[in-house]
Amino acid sequence: MHRSTDLNTHPSVDVTVTALRVPAALIMIVACTVFVSSAMNGFVLDDQSIIVDNPMLRSLSDIPALFRSDYWEPTSRQGLYRPVTTTSYVIDYAIGAGSPLGYHVTNILLHGATSVLVLLVLARLTRHFGLAWTAALLFAVHPIHSEVVAGIAAGRPDLLATMFLLLALWCHIYLRGTAGRKSIVFHVAAAGAYLLAVLSKESAIVFPLAALLADIVYRPGEGETAPSASRSAHRRRSLSPYAAYLGVACLYGLLRTWALHSGPALPDPSPLDNPLVSLPAVLRTASALLIGIRYLGLLVWPARLSYDYSYAQLSPIDSVTDPRLLLALATLLLLVAGLWLSWRVSRLLFFAIAFYVVTFAIVSNVAVPIGTIMAERLTYLPSVGFILAVTILLRWPFRNRSRPAQLRWLMLVTLPIVVALSWRSADRSGDWASEESLFLHDVAVSPGSAKVRTNAGVAYSRLGWHEEALEQFAVAAEMGLTPLMYPTPYLGAVRSLYNLRRYSAAVGLYRELVQAGVRDPEIEAGLDRLRRDWRGPPP
């Protein structure tokens, strides 16, 4: 059977960096403008414990210490090693004196830079400006990236890791078409960017596989260095970058071991955050495949986004008799068939699908269980492959037309999509303005999550709406988590009862928590004051 090597009609045409200066500037402007409203957001979720309350992130002189510290220190040690990310927080603090504005502006600029790198990588890889421009534009405005851009601690690791990984990939692709000193420069730059990527977030370790996929697709164009006439010399030249990447991975492993020697080697996932960790490997993998369909659904239709999908928002496959096992198997077979068919049709389409699979697999709970069952931020890097695949398919009706005709067609088709996605991204960024706005908005999106319900209760409590808070805490407590497993909604209920002056109920509930092994010094101090000041019957 004949296999087409590409969907491109002119694979030898190259798009130079110089020619992309204006398009790159436009992509940067669009990416930053869409999310600019998030610059005025405050600190939310883990921002408080990781950034605001962390004394290690307030002086440039503390940066060396970050390279021998866990990401969560001094609060805890969870087996995460991200010194480049924490260093970026220190720089933000030095510039903005701890104001959330500086951190958010950095996130917006990093997203803009990453969107530009999507343009540069795809332009070099596809040699097709229309494909690269359209894909980069869709990436820049996609609402599923709202968590990464609008959330500081939630998104900064993915922003930095993706930016540096794409930079490494761009250098790797350029390396294939150069020789001599210029080749050495790109060689070193690719390895250096790879090191910065894995020091930003662990999932960037997959870069060599992404580079291998690029090697399968990329072909040197006119004026570029042709392969060496010597087969052995060509083989050495092809393998030398991977030797450098292996060295970077080993160096990262040594640095990580040195820094985390007294802590866990990897994060210990909690069943609250990731219910899949308690399942056998087969059921965990099957459940992860079904959740993968949810991710694709959000990439296609990002109407209902949430900051949390933990227990018990999603229902994993917990039995071999669950009929959804067949759906999981069908998903796997469709994935394999899609890769095979794309390989037969187009190298670029194969790269797009395989890039999504490779970069998503490590954070999907398929390879190993991770700290969360599902999170939108995990799609930031994989979405490059998804969006490229969509762009290639959108171009299909005009694949045999001239390139200007293809570009006009892509602009006509994608313009309304870009406008709609931009509006949704700006709207979603507003949900992240404060914890109260985020918690109260997303309780309607993830009503089955115990954490979302509890956080909604916390938000109501802060607003002084304690009856509404009690309702949310009660729903969370009824989801089957004991006080010892998840004490927050129970303790929140005690505080709300206290604020409503239902003192007997508050004391009674707290006694039950103490019997279950849960204590809270702040609540105990309040109850002690109540006993001292009480003027009626004992509470």
The number of helices, as runs of H, and strands, as runs of E, in the chain is 22, 0
pLDDT the model gives residue 105? 97
pLDDT the model gives residue 5? 45
pLDDT the model gives residue 203? 94
- Candidates 362, 352, 336; CA nearest to 299 is 352
Q: Quote the DSSP letter at residue 314.
A: S
User: Is residue 529 over pLDDT 80?
Assistant: no
Q: Quote the DSSP letter at residue 164.
A: H
Give the distance, in angstroms, between the CA of residue 52 and the centroid of all CA atoms in the same chain. Answer: 21
pLDDT in tens, 4-62: 444 444 444 556 777 889 999 999 999 999 999 999 999 999 999 999 999 999 999 99
**Residue 10: CB partners within 8 Å, gap ≥ 6?**
127, 403
pLDDT the model gives residue 110? 98
The better pLDDT of the pair 288, 396 is held by 288
- Candidates 299, 328, 329; CA nearest to 316 is 328
**What is the rounded distance in angstroms from the CA atom of residue 72 to the CA atom of residue 154?**
13
pLDDT the model gives residue 267? 67
User: Tokens standing for 387?
Assistant: 């969006």
**What is the rounded distance in angstroms from the CA atom of residue 188 to the CA atom of residue 243?**
12
Position 194 confidence tier, pLDDT thresholds 50, 70, 90: very high
Q: Around 363, how many Cα atoms within 13 Å sit in the side-chain half-sphere? A: 22
User: Is residue 392 over pLDDT 80?
Assistant: yes
Mean pLDDT of the chain: 89
pLDDT the model gives residue 79? 85
pLDDT the model gives residue 420? 97
Q: Around 29, how many Cα atoms within 13 Å sit in the side-chain half-sphere? A: 6
**What is the rounded distance in angstroms from the CA atom of residue 261 to the CA atom of residue 165?**
26
Position 237 confidence tier, pLDDT thresholds 50, 70, 90: low
pLDDT in tens, 332-363: 999 999 999 999 999 999 999 999 999 999 99
Q: How far is CA 156 from CA 68, 202, 334, in A?
A: 19, 13, 33
User: Is residue 251 over pLDDT 70?
Assistant: yes
Q: Quote the DSSP letter at residue 226.
A: P
Average pLDDT of the residues in 396-420? 89
Burial class (CB in 10 A: 0-12, 13-18, 19+), 80: buried
Average pLDDT of the residues in 237-258? 90
pLDDT the model gives residue 221? 55
Q: In 127-230, where does DSSP find H-type helix?
A: 129-141, 146-150, 152-175, 180-198, 207-217
pLDDT in tens, 96-148: 888 999 999 999 999 999 999 999 999 999 988 999 999 999 999 999 999 99
pLDDT in tens, 444-483: 999 999 999 999 999 999 999 999 999 999 999 999 889 9
Q: Is 79 helix (H, G, I), strand (E, B) or coil?
A: coil
Which helix (H) or strand (E) segment is 535 a member of? none
Position 415 confidence tier, pLDDT thresholds 50, 70, 90: very high
User: Is residue 91 over pLDDT 80?
Assistant: yes
